[in-house]
Structure 1
Amino acid sequence: MVVVEGLRKVYRTGPKEVVALREVTFEASPGELIAIRGRSGSGKTTLLNQIGGLDRPDDGRVVVAGQEVTAMAEDDLVGLRRDVVGFVFQSFGLVPVLSAAENIGVPMRLNRMPAGEREERVRMLLALVGLDKHGNQRPYELSGGQRQRVAIARALANRPRLLVADEPTAQLDSQTGRQIMELLRALVRGEGVTALVATHDLGLITLADRVLEIADGVLREVVPQES
């Protein structure tokens, strides 16, 4: 589902260079939940941005669902982000003046989905994330965990094949964060999507199928310790 080969990204500020990614290579299979752990500034967000087509590397390639993201024109990247990749961010990113249901419906409106089909899918997604009774509430009327559930439902609106979540539990307490991670795991199983979840919370990575660790731009796979 995801193939990353030799990814390198360097940020330059005047004469100073910061290497964010160093020859990063890995693959993710369909229906797999992968946790990417690392400290703040380790390169997690940079890596996810390259995979989701939000930024371009200096070297290397990314292939998502058979499409070479790193070779795409900007118009094609817009289509990739609309139809293939769903994004979940720690800041939720909901539109304050819209209800939960309306926020979930935004990507489908942009994709020109017929109104009846859109409304039915919104109802299904609200139920899927356990918010079927909260569709008319606006973000300020919801808890942090509920807002993140709305954001996850919105990310699933156009049936993406890849879900990219950047620190989705960072603004939540530990119990709510675990509930959100468990929801993501259930969605990977039930919807058949692949999920890449960046987190620094060691208590959540046990819910992943695999764990990758990034430090100073270098990625390695974490081998589970035998009990």
Structure 2
Amino acid sequence: MTQRQGPADPAAPMVAVEEVRRSFGSGPRAVHALRGVSLEIPRGELTALKGRSGSGKTTLLNLVGGLDRPSGGRIVLDGTDLGDLDEDGRLALRRDRIGFVFQSFGLIPILTAAENVGVPLRMRRAPVAEREERVRTLLALVGLAGHADQRPGELSGGQQQRVAVARALANEPSLIIADEPTGQLDSETGRSVMELLRAVVRSEGVTVLVATHDQNLMEVADRVVELADGRIVGERRPAAAAR
């Protein structure tokens, strides 16, 4: 396993995607999900990916998050070339340096909100006092300090996704990857979750890469990158990003 390549240059992008391709299958029936995508994701920014189903958004998220390997090209995350990592190295990368937020929340039903947030810290074997303090801090950050002892079934969809965001932040990741995090929420609740992610970028200094279909939610992003048929076809900075 290749070790982390020292402290990354703070002026360098958090993620550099270079001519990345990803195909599934072979021959005439092969599906080309990504066709030579190049993209830089700056540190401390919220980048939104837009595009219809099948455009390559989720494939790109999976590759950046080390959940899959490209068919060609190169991805560098915070100074580490993902192509140099074996499976154990990729596991460590996901555990220590990336937080994930999913459309389906992904909370453990039998655990309380606080226990769900603490799962990554338990996996890291953080001391109990440190773990409890971090959990309290994160639940307060996402506005759920008074819901620590409630289980997912006792929380609204928006509250569950806020717990998921807190859990993604538990190990102080460099990057948060969110795949349609508001897909199961109404528009108002969804916007509040996106605004929470925007606030997290400011308060925690974390970089966020999010895929979303909702045009309204893109307006809180620093940059919107559009994909179609596995290629980047457009990029813009919403007016609200001129902060």
- Normalized against structure 1, the TM-score is what? 0.97
Name the SS for the 1:124 alignment partner: helix
Aligned to 2:54: 41
Q: Which runs of 5+ in 2 are unaligned?
A: 1-13
Aligned to 2:141: 128
Separation of aligned partners in 2, 1:30 and 1:224: 16
Separation of aligned partners in 2, 1:109 and 1:54: 22
Q: Which runs of 5+ in 1 are unaligned?
A: none
| CA contact 1:34–1:209 (8 Å) conserved in 2 | yes
Separation of aligned partners in 2, 1:225 and 1:101: 35
Aligned to 1:17: 30
Separation of aligned partners in 1, 2:52 and 2:169: 28
**Deviation of the 1:96 alpha carbon:** 0.6
Q: Closer, same or farther in 2 for the Cα pair 1:224/1:103, shift >3 Å?
A: closer
Of stretches 12-21 and 46-55 in structure 1, the one that deviates more from structure 2 is 12-21
Separation of aligned partners in 2, 1:122 and 1:70: 33
**Deviation of the 1:42 alpha carbon:** 1.2
Question: Which residue of the other structure, out of 81, 91, 95, is the alignment partner of 1:78?
Answer: 91
Aligned residues: 226
**Deviation of the 1:219 alpha carbon:** 1.2
Query: What amino acid is the match of 1:105?
Result: G
Query: Structure 2 matches for 1:105-116, cutoff 5 A?
Result: 105-116=118-129
Q: Deviations over 1:66-100 (max 9, x none)?
A: 00112210001011001111100001000010000
Question: Which residue of the other structure, out of 131, 134, 137, is the alignment partner of 2:150?
Answer: 137
Q: Deviations over 1:103-157 (max 9, x none)?
A: 0000000001000000000000000000000010000100000000000000000
Name the SS for the 2:126 alignment partner: coil
**Deviation of the 1:36 alpha carbon:** 0.3
In the TM superposition, structure 1's runs of 4+ consecutive aligned residues that sit over 4 Å from their partners are none
Aligned to 1:101: 114
| CA contact 1:53–1:70 (8 Å) conserved in 2 | no
Aligned to 1:63: 76
Separation of aligned partners in 2, 1:83 and 1:141: 29
User: Within the alignment, does 1:191 sit opposite 2:222 as a pair?
Assistant: no
- Normalized against structure 2, the TM-score is what? 0.90
Separation of aligned partners in 2, 1:223 and 1:83: 31
Separation of aligned partners in 1, 2:199 and 2:163: 15
- What percent identity do the matched residue pairs reach? 62
**Deviation of the 1:222 alpha carbon:** 2.0
**Deviation of the 1:14 alpha carbon:** 7.9
Aligned to 2:11: none
Name the SS for the 2:118 alignment partner: helix
User: Within the alignment, does 1:181 sit opposite 2:194 as a pair?
Assistant: yes
User: Within the alignment, does 1:205 sit opposite 2:227 as a pair?
Assistant: no
